[in-house]
Structure 1
């Protein structure tokens, strides 16, 4: 409990540091925010000054910085220059699509990656190991847009098993596979190496001497002790997925935070860019905290060491 409290309190300086960098970088970007908001529409100096006052740009930078931190804690980071809508509302409208894709890709990646890694780790240096690692290497190496287009051509157009675009579970299958194969590739390779290392430990030899079945040894003893490195990688992958699989979203014409971020950068919509980066960094830090706390649940020795 004390360790969890310390880690939660440790989030505060990390978020403070990252959000400070975000604010500073946005301030260094050249260009007048009022001109970006007006998007070339002619306006008098009085109108520009009133708009600058409404945005708070006439105040000192320190005051704007304190206001920014306060709004970030409340989840209010201003209005979009382009749509004039609150950026928090715009992000919340797109977040569900990104979270659905992240959850689907994670489910595919975990299932395929764990299966390939376990098979390869339990039968190292065999044809099964070679085949599993070839599939994992292909998932990591092949570009997402190519995998997506092949899935669209085969399962969406030729066989017509699932829809290519749209909403609902059926339209999520192909994008989830596209994202999940990349997650599965790295996850499978790490599970394999962890299983091979765990199977050579003394407690595995003791379990064999007791006459335990191969299944029991693999899943009750080896897998649990081999999960910490893969879970660490999984935490990073989840953060990347929440940040948005931009290529996959564009291939399948899906809305999402990744596509929104690209469009915001191209349109120089600074409040929206700033809000997306702030929320993404917060999600990344929180996910890493959750992964760190999971170590103690997976391996009691980690919890004992922390105590």
Structure 2
């Protein structure tokens, strides 16, 4: 069945990975979105138009990450890809640790899924498998695909995930700087081996973090402690490290968002967010844009456009 002429609307949330101790495992979907319209055409080409974040910077042909991910999804399910025109309005900042590349990968996969509706059945495992292969690891793509708080792991049968619903009192606050940091650069600072005591420390905090996120937000400060990755990466983003230290000195559960340099604060109620934002505005060494967000529970959505 030809998909030419079909048109779909795609919406994908930003994500924050690691959440402190849950390195390469935990991820949270946030209410900041990239939104796209994708049309299947009979022309043998892919064209992309971008407004918002990335306009004038990202590729506008089949090498665009959304486009290449859509084409890879058609190939993965052994379907002939049509030409496509992609209109993207992006809000997720690039290179800030909020899952922009994962969102682009998921957007392309969701677009292909929508265009192939009625022809190919996509299971959650299939979606996560394609996304993880394209992105390299599942901790960002899992919450982008499915929403909520996700635990992601890779076993003998490939990447898997568990979606959890955080306590309604968990109130995310994100601080976004003007500077960027590549995930590759952040990973280069990570040591191959870590002390046994630090590994045990993070195992305990990761377990505590799941409990805090689901039923005991008052434990979030202790649950977000980390010894596996944040200190090693601090030299690449000293302002982030200093601002996290400022926030934590005042009792706020602040962590590096993903690979950074943005900061995620998992506040225990909306009032705490206002106080944290005022603290950073008044005392941080550099300007930060504060975004008071909600947990996104839907993940990527795709709907047909008549």
> TM-score with structure 1 length normalisation?
0.26
**TM-score relative to the length of structure 2:** 0.26
Which has more strand, going by share of residues? Answer: 2
